[in-house]
Structure 1
Amino acid sequence: MRNKFLKYVMIGICLIFSGKSFSQSIQTIEDIGLFLTDATFYSEKYITPATDAAVYQASSNWMTSPKKRKLYDVTLSLHGNLFFVPKRDRSFEIKNSDFSFFTIENNSSATVPTALGSDSQYYLIGEIDNNQVRIETPKGVNQETIFYPYLQGSISLWKGFEAVVKFSSKVKLKRGDYQVYGFGLKHNFSQYFKSLESKKIHLAGLVAYSKEEISFGFLDTYTNYGNLGINEITGEVDTWQFQLSASKEWKRFELMTSFIANQSDFKYYLSGPKGEIENVIPVQYILNEKLKDIYKSKFNTIGEISGRYQFSKIYVQTSFAFGKFVNTNLSVQYEF
């Protein structure tokens, strides 16, 4: 019922603004409807690997140490995160049979990049009201590793609790932007077991929330109705993380292992400026509604190993997270 309503609304808009006949307006709506269906299909294949990877990037090194600190101790740290892009997530295959509107120019199938892939391109062609639409497939970041810096801070509270926050400004990738921020609460468990503390063994748990936002250039072209306004797509990831960590200290060195479980909700939307076609049909709104069909939730388990070395009040820590992806993190920390 809702789709029929939108269809009739769009037909009315076309009749008002296009000056075309009724039958031509219906054909235009049908063509654009097929185009939007194909754009939704392509959106999911293109951006999903990047948002899946963003979960790993945001999960690393939340806990610098599980040990209990003195009340109101503050730690500030600068982190550099390095994510390794696996080959399997750099491309996907498309065939003409996958599309209702498009065909692949001069090919029946092609291997095209995801947002994490190369900068190779193909052309997709179709017709709106007998006028050809020809667009380039979107490029990937064309990087085997993705680096971004962020800041993190923590303050110890009562009863072995510690509040943690992390933030990165919007980081420019080769063909996109990435940003993460969040907060967490850690609690030390080894304080209840004096035998563990005497051996410098520390146990703690963490609950954290993070929000990741990643944007890439997407499909766009000019038609007889103007620019389509789908030149940028954004994925938003809301993640709740649960972490258990244990560490052992040897003088200035601390080795920590962690088990991480997180639940992430993924949303997608067009984030670029609207096109001229909005004077005729609200393409961006309609496609954003269709993109709700590919919203999803996902559960991940991640292992993490880290080593931390002390130089007076300065600490250097490196961590290695593994699971579906591999992510490394290097940080320099100062404790007040």
Structure 2
Amino acid sequence: MLKKNLQLLIILLAGITATAQNEQERLINDMLLVAENFANPGAEGAAIQSSAGWFTSATTLEKWKFEVSVHGNALFVPDGKQRKLSSNRDFSLLSFRDANNAVLPTVYGGNTDAVFEGRIFGQDFSFDAIDGLNKENIIHPYPQVTMGLPYSTEVSVRFLPSIIVNDVGFQTYGIGLKHNFTQYYERRYNPEDFQFAAAIAYSNFKVDYAFEQISLPVLQLNRVDVNADLWLFQVLGSKLYDTFEVFGALGLTASNFDYKMGGTGEALPLLNNALQGVEGSGTNFKGDLGFNYYVGNFKISSMFTASNFFNVNLGIHYRI
């Protein structure tokens, strides 16, 4: 009899443990979806910002000459990237209070009155849906250094340690290479001839979005970190008119990004491990139109980028 009771107790405990693990997994999967819907537009925007401003002309610096630049990006967020429709059908354990659907803000969106509720380990819980930053544009500054290489080639590097702008943390670094092809079909080099070049660049862009803490029975969340790797392939053309230059480019971006949630709780490592399985990636075409003005060793550049986001890049350059 004692043996049978022990076996029954073991089976009962195993069933309770399995149920608890299943509920925790369901909660983690639901929070994955909440995090992805919130952060994914931010990752896409980061990819566009990190691809902007690499090269502002198809001409190249003379061999071993340097150009030191300070750039500022302004990313403009379309309405479709500021909010997303969600339904109770999307979730396993969570549901909206008093509603079947809700329009939730992304990281760029505004505030929301939507409330999630659920039940885990026999305990009811609820939390407010994450409010966005209410930012229709995101400003991001960074420095860059360019050096002329042999064979009408130049290399650019950029690095920005972690800074906070408009309640958003940024960190970026990267390297780009550009080669001028005009040299192959123009017998004599004239700086005011139409210039044609191609470029490739790699950049890493980290962005940290903080939000009001979400408190769950096994999880407390207050931040989402996005780590984006981006490759840019681009063809460029430019035409100089005395001290004024017109610039245009067509490019393809290939990005890969992953997420990490910040906070505390026994389920946080499980959530972040699961997030590694939903890394995002994508390719986008982009077009650039820019104008440069030369004054002595200085150049003032402006560039307008159109893709799934719209970005404006302004730069001040000094040639050494």
Q: What is the Cα deviation at residue 64 of structure 1? A: 2.4
Residue type of the alignment partner of 1:252: T
Alignment of 1:179-328 (within 5 A): 179-194=171-186, 197-198=189-190, 199-217=192-210, 220-223=213-216, 228-270=219-261, 272-273=262-263, 275=264, 277-278=265-266, 283-328=267-312
Does the residue aligned with 1:68 lie in a helix, a strand or coil?
coil
| 1:90-128 Cα shifts (integer Å, max 9, x gaps) | 001122222111111222211110011113342211112
1:11 is aligned to none
1:61 is aligned to 53
| 1:188-229 Cα shifts (integer Å, max 9, x gaps) | 11122225843522111111100111222368544555xx14
Measure the CA separation in 2 of the matches of 1:176 and 1:22.
Answer: 45
Change in Cα spacing, 1:134 to 1:102, as seen in structure 2 (3 Å) is same
Higher helix share: 1
Measure the CA separation in 1 of the matches of 2:65 and 2:298.
Answer: 14
Residue type of the alignment partner of 1:291: L
Q: 2:138–2:166: 8 Å Cα contact kept in structure 1?
A: no
Does the residue aligned with 1:35 lie in a helix, a strand or coil?
helix
Does the residue aligned with 1:230 lie in a helix, a strand or coil?
strand
Change in Cα spacing, 1:58 to 1:196, as seen in structure 2 (3 Å) is farther
Change in Cα spacing, 1:175 to 1:137, as seen in structure 2 (3 Å) is farther
Q: 2:56–2:303: 8 Å Cα contact kept in structure 1?
A: no
Does the residue aligned with 1:100 lie in a helix, a strand or coil?
coil
Q: What is the Cα deviation at residue 175 of structure 1? A: 4.6
Change in Cα spacing, 1:258 to 1:234, as seen in structure 2 (3 Å) is same
Change in Cα spacing, 1:38 to 1:218, as seen in structure 2 (3 Å) is farther
| 1:150-182 Cα shifts (integer Å, max 9, x gaps) | 101101011111110112232424453222210
Q: What is the Cα deviation at residue 293 of structure 1? A: 3.1
Measure the CA separation in 2 of the matches of 1:88 and 1:159.
Answer: 45
Scaled by the length of structure 1, the TM-score of the pair is: 0.86
Measure the CA separation in 1 of the matches of 2:47 and 2:279.
Answer: 15
**Deviating more after overlay: 208-217 vs 77-86:** 208-217
Structure 2: 5+ residue runs without aligned partners?
A: 1-11
Measure the CA separation in 2 of the matches of 1:196 and 1:28.
Answer: 76
Residue type of the alignment partner of 1:209: Y
RMSD: 2.0
Change in Cα spacing, 1:234 to 1:223, as seen in structure 2 (3 Å) is closer
Change in Cα spacing, 1:248 to 1:197, as seen in structure 2 (3 Å) is farther
Measure the CA separation in 1 of the matches of 2:123 and 2:167.
Answer: 30
1:104 is aligned to 96
2:316 is aligned to 332
Does the residue aligned with 1:58 lie in a helix, a strand or coil?
helix
Residue type of the alignment partner of 2:270: I
1:95 is aligned to 87
Higher strand share: 2
Structure 1: 5+ residue runs without aligned partners?
A: 1-19
Change in Cα spacing, 1:318 to 1:37, as seen in structure 2 (3 Å) is same
| 1:269-307 Cα shifts (integer Å, max 9, x gaps) | 22x24x2x42xxxx2222122223321321111100110
**Deviating more after overlay: 324-333 vs 127-136:** 127-136
Does the residue aligned with 2:112 lie in a helix, a strand or coil?
coil
Measure the CA separation in 2 of the matches of 1:125 and 1:49.
Answer: 25
Measure the CA separation in 1 of the matches of 2:23 and 2:165.
Answer: 34
For these two proteins, the number of residue pairs brought into alignment is 308
Change in Cα spacing, 1:264 to 1:41, as seen in structure 2 (3 Å) is same
Scaled by the length of structure 2, the TM-score of the pair is: 0.90
